[in-house]
């Protein structure tokens, strides 16, 4: 009778306090990618395939986005437990009151870049006077261009900005524009090279834009507050996946391809791309996933100077580095 009483008390207690981390770990966790499956995600599929999430008691489902612009909303609402997204966009979301934050840094430097065909002779921002520059219609990309131009002696008014959507390489190759910003030098550059076109890459953090995390792992404030042990286990397994990919980049692409047989993955692009990305998964003298406060502050200061976020926004509100500290 005493055993039955204790069992009933336990059930009532569980109903009152809700599920613990250990209870919820058996539930499905959804990780939504920032874009369709590519080399940037190789470590995630390694973590799933090699059982690193399962070792932590986590059942993780990786999903490409139905709408790449809605990822932070999905995470904030709890429809996705985790997401992959970009530091600049995360900062703007925080500025708008979206309760999401980064818990690990994945790509430690910008992949976003300015590109021009080598035949154009454009190899620095200062050679763009009177030229047409394509961009994907993202406001902060315009601010990036402005800083790069100003650093090399020009102004925004010296170029014509053309919204070409995400058809960046097509606009460049067709001659619609003379250069583009917003192109990934680990993707568009390789696509163009595979088609026989050589391009110059001009990196924003070499022309006045503070370096930033191209890709971060995000979750909601509520998840961090209510399920910190689960987040810690997730980040641990996630990091082990990328550490495995660092040891065998081409093997991680084998895993990416095998686990996504129906996805439209350009194998030649991702095999070349992963070799370029591998150094950017690492931060000097820091473990994988590190989030360095100084980098968040310097990039936030730049965004504030361009009117992209409010002066009152504290950059520390956009990340929690405790899950990657060792």
Residue with tokens 């999401």: 100
Q: Average the pLDDT over 166-184 and give the result.
A: 96
The lowest-confidence range among 61-70, 180-189, 276-285 is 276-285
Q: Maximum CA pair distance of the chain?
A: 88
pLDDT in tens, 69-95: 999 999 999 999 999 999 999 999 999
Which residues is 201 bridged to in the sheet?
115
- What is the rounded distance in angstroms from the CA atom of residue 215 to the CA atom of residue 109? 8
Checking if the pLDDT of 7 tops 50, the result is no
Supply the pLDDT for residue 9. Answer: 34
Supply the pLDDT for residue 4. Answer: 38
pLDDT grade for 1, boundaries at 50, 70 and 90: very low
| Average pLDDT score over the chain | 92
CA nearest neighbour of 275 among 40, 104, 45, 50: 40
- Return the HEC string of 118-145: HHHCCCCHHHCCCCEEEECCCHHHHHHH
Q: What are phi and psi of 35, to 5 degrees?
A: -155, -175
CA nearest neighbour of 214 among 184, 248, 246: 184
- What is the rounded distance in angstroms from the CA atom of residue 215 to the CA atom of residue 220? 16
Which residues is 100 bridged to in the sheet?
220
List strand residue ranges (DSSP E) for 129-283, in order.
132-135, 160-163, 179-184, 199-202, 215-220
pLDDT grade for 150, boundaries at 50, 70 and 90: very high
Tokens encoding 95: 């500025």
Q: Average the pLDDT over 83-111 and give the result.
A: 97
The lowest-confidence range among 165-169, 257-261, 285-289 is 285-289
Supply the pLDDT for residue 283. Answer: 80
Residue with tokens 């840094």: 105
Pair 114, 180: CB distance under 8 Å: yes
Pair 145, 116: CB distance under 8 Å: no
Using DSSP bridges, classify how beta strands 100-107 and 179-184 pair: parallel, antiparallel or unpaired: unpaired
Checking if the pLDDT of 286 tops 80, the result is yes
Supply the pLDDT for residue 287. Answer: 86
Q: What structural domains does the chain harbor?
A: 21-109+213-323 (3.40.190.10), 112-206 (3.40.190.10)
Using DSSP bridges, classify how beta strands 112-117 and 179-184 pair: parallel, antiparallel or unpaired: antiparallel
The lowest-confidence range among 14-18, 244-248, 256-260, 283-287 is 14-18
Q: What are phi and psi of 187, to 5 degrees?
A: -135, -70
pLDDT in tens, 192-210: 999 999 999 999 999 999 9
**Cα dist. 204→149, 231, 258 in Å?**
10, 32, 35
pLDDT in tens, 117-136: 999 999 999 999 999 999 99
Residues with Cβ within 8 Å of 98's Cβ and at least 6 positions away in sequence, in order, are: 72, 73, 76
What's the whole-model pTM score? 0.90
Tell me, rounded to whole angstroms, the distance of Cα 189 from its chain centroid: 19
Supply the pLDDT for residue 326. Answer: 59
Checking if the pLDDT of 226 tops 60, the result is yes
């Amino acid at each position: 009778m005493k055993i039955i009483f204790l069992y009933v008390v336990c059930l009532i207690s569980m109903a009152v306090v809700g599920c613990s981390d250990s209870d919820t770990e058996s539930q499905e966790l959804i990780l939504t990618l920032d874009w369709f499956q590519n080399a940037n995600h190789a470590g995630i599929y390694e973590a799933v395939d090699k059982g690193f999430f399962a070792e932590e008691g986590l059942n993780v489902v990786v999903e490409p986005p139905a709408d790449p612009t809605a990822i932070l909303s999905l995470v904030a609402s709890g429809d996705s437990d985790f997401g992959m997204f970009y530091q600049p966009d995360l900062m703007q979301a925080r500025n708008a009151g979206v309760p999401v934050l980064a818990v690990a840094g994945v790509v430690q430097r910008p992949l976003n870049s300015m590109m021009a065909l080598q035949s154009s002779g454009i190899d620095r921002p200062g050679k763009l006077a009177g030229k047409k520059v394509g961009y994907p219609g993202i406001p902060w990309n315009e601010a990036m261009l402005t800083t790069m131009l100003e650093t090399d002696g020009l102004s925004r008014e010296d170029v014509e900005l053309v919204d070409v959507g995400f058809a960046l390489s097509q606009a460049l190759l067709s001659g619609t524009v003379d250069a583009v910003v917003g192109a990934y030098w680990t993707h568009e550059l390789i696509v163009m090279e595979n088609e026989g076109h050589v391009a110059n890459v001009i990196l924003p953090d070499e022309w006045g834009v503070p370096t930033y995390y191209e890709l971060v792992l995000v979750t909601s404030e509520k998840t961090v507050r209510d399920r910190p042990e689960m987040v810690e286990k997730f980040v641990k397994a996630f990091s082990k996946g990328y550490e495995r990919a660092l040891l065998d980049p081409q093997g991680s692409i084998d895993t990416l391809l095998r686990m996504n047989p129906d996805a439209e993955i350009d194998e030649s692009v991702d095999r070349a791309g992963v070799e370029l990305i591998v150094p950017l998964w690492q931060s000097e003298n820091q473990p994988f996933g590190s989030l360095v406060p100084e980098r968040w502050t310097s990039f936030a200061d730049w965004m504030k100077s361009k009117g992209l976020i409010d002066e009152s926004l504290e950059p520390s509100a956009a990340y929690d580095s405790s899950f990657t500290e060792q």
